[in-house]
Amino acid sequence: MAKFRYRMQNILNIKEKLEMQAKNEFATANMELLEEQERLSAMLKENAALQEEGRRLRQKDSLSIRDIEDNSLSVSLMKEKMKQQALAIHRAEQKVEEKRKAMTDLMQERKTQEVLRDKAFEAFLQEEKAEEGKQIDQLTSYTYGQRAKKEESR
């Protein structure tokens, strides 16, 4: 039996490599998104601490206007940083979505190549089966012919 050789195997190999690269890029983008979300979470905790400090400063017996103003400024700066971080998260989410779509497209292309390879293998098996059938027919014909010659010569 002959060995099956898919003539577009190099294309399938390239598709598999591209898919792996896309999966890695997707994973990297996902990690970046998680890091951005963790930064926002830390900012939210820091903002809550600043607001609690502001309440504590306002409830003291001796009010320090300077400390209260500094705290208010810190809270407003933190809110601005949180807005910027929310934008960074949005950009990271868009990047993750782009990478996911690219990965999905490459997976689909690889699967298409695999289906084509499977069909080519099925065709190969059919050809081998037909060739084997021809060889069996030839052997049977030869054997039958040899028997007929022996019977005639008797």
pLDDT tens digits for range 49-105: 999 999 988 888 777 888 889 999 999 999 999 999 999 999 999 999 999 999 999
Tokens of 102: 């690219």
pLDDT exceeds cutoff 70 at 1: no
**Cα distance between residue 44 and residue 84, in whole Å:** 13
Contact 24, 84 (CB under 8 A): no
Among 57, 52, 108, smallest CA distance to 78 is for 52
Among 108, 58, 48, 99, smallest CA distance to 78 is for 48
Give the residue carrying structure tokens 């081998």. 128
Q: What pLDDT sits at residue 154?
A: 67
Q: How many residues does the chain have?
A: 154
SS3 1: coil
Give the residue carrying structure tokens 């601005």. 80
Query: Could you tell me which residue, 17 or 58, shows the higher pLDDT?
Result: 17
pLDDT exceeds cutoff 90 at 145: no
Query: Could you tell me which residue, 64 or 11, shows the higher pLDDT?
Result: 11
**pTM of the predicted model, to two decimals?**
0.75
Q: What pLDDT sits at residue 59?
A: 85
Half-sphere exposure of 50 (CA within 13 A, CB side): 19
